[in-house]
């Protein structure tokens, strides 16, 4: 499959993964419906038949002899196809997991920005006399605006009340995205 190039081999392997999924649809339906006594929908059987028609066959000569050129060729092609399919599946999973990391990084950046903004507002309120410095420090973890950058650099901001609240605000969107990707997986 290497002669097809990176895109061609992915398409080729994806075709074979799709073919095998088509062939297994009636079985998956029966498992999903807890092996009920009901009939498998004819559409699923039709799709499975179409997937089976895309599968090659072995001649009578090849079936009656263990060692034949045809069987040896089938063995080599099966190994190559399985290797390609495994690569296709691994790359697909890798794409899903890398996009999850990106979403997590975006949510953390939003929470960090919110912490930074709210911490500065609280400390400025304390400097104006609206809060005590002790109250400001209880919320933000620091008592000076200049110390906010240190909290962020040391990654201690998330353990403060304001930081935890900012993370809590942005986590539902990440949890929903993770849940959707787990369902896809």
pLDDT digits (tens, 9 = 90+) for 25-63: 888 787 777 766 667 778 878 888 887 777 777 788 877
Give me the numbers of helices (H) and strands (E) for the chain, helices first please: 7, 0
If pLDDT is split at 50, 70 and 90, which confidence band does 18 have?
A: confident
Whole-model pTM? 0.45
DSSP 8-state code for residue 59: -
**How open is the CA angle 54-60-63, to the nearest 5 degrees?**
85
Residues, the chain, total?
Answer: 185
Whether the predicted pLDDT of 1 surpasses 50: no
Contact 174, 105 (CB under 8 A): no
Alpha carbon distances (Å) from 179 to 102, 109, 131, 168, 185: 15, 21, 41, 17, 10
């Amino acid at each position: 499959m290497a002669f097809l190039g990176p895109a061609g081999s992915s398409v080729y392997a994806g075709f074979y993964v799709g073919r095998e999924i088509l062939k297994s649809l009636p079985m998956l339906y029966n498992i999903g419906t807890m092996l009920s006594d009901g009939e498998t929908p004819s559409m699923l059987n039709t799709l499975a038949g179409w997937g089976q028609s895309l599968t090659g066959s072995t001649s009578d000569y090849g079936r009656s002899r263990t060692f034949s050129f045809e069987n040896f060729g089938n063995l080599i092609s099966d190994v190559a196809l399985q290797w390609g399919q495994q690569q296709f599946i691994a790359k697909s999973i890798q794409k899903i997991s890398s996009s999850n990391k990106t979403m997590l990084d975006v949510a953390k950046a939003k929470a960090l920005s919110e912490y930074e903004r709210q911490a500065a507002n609280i400390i400025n309120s304390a400097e104006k006399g609206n809060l005590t410095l002790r109250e400001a420090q209880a919320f933000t973890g620091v008592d000076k605006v200049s110390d906010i950058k240190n909290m962020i650099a040391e990654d201690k901001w998330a353990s403060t009340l304001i930081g935890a609240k900012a993370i809590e605000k942005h986590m539902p969107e990440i949890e929903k995205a993770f849940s959707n990707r787990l369902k896809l997986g």
